[in-house]
Amino acid sequence: MKKLAILGISAIAFTACNDNSAELARLQQQRSMDSIRFVMQEQQAEAARQRSIDSLNAIAAEEKAASAQREASAARSARRSSGANYSSTTYTGNAASAAPAAPQRKGWSGAAKGAAIGAGVGAVSGALIDDRKGRGAIIGGLAGAGIGAGTGAIVDDAKKKKGK
């Protein structure tokens, strides 16, 4: 009986002390792969950010070159228009006074955008809700335009305060 008990205890001891080294190695390898993936994703994100910055810098450089070319062209045309009378004409080097730049177009105000979006959404909603589609679209469009204009005006005001 003693031998049977010792044999049972030793069998339990061997099975309880099984080797977890394979599982630990697999977990370590998984951690390494995860960290490599994370670093690669960070590098890809950084490369994408850098490409965006580079493209914006290239656009700015192109605009600067085009502006310089326009200024030089304006200066040449100003000198040509003065004719043979070079002695009385002095060039100041300021192309802006020779040929004024086209005024920059302004976009829609926030109130106008809000009114347009609100009118569209209100018209669609009104047509869907009301039994008489035309009446619902008109009422919804007017209500949406009013609410959208008010909301857009509030947003414009907030942007102006933020800018100051």
Number of C-alpha atoms within 13 angstroms, CB side, residue 69? 6
Q: So what's the pLDDT on residue 140?
A: 92
CB burial readout 121-156, b (16+ within 10 A) else e? bbbebbbeeeeeeeebbbbbbebbbebbbebbbeeb
Characterise 90 by phi-psi region: left (phi > 0), alpha (psi -120 to 50), beta (else): beta
Entry pTM: 0.36
CA neighbours within 13 Å on the CB side: how many for 149? 9
CA distance 125 to 122: 5
Q: What percent of the chain has pLDDT over 70?
A: 81
Which tens digit of pLDDT belongs to each residue from 52-66?
888 888 888 888 888
Higher pLDDT, 154 or 92: 154
Domain boundaries, the chain: 26-85+92-98, 109-158
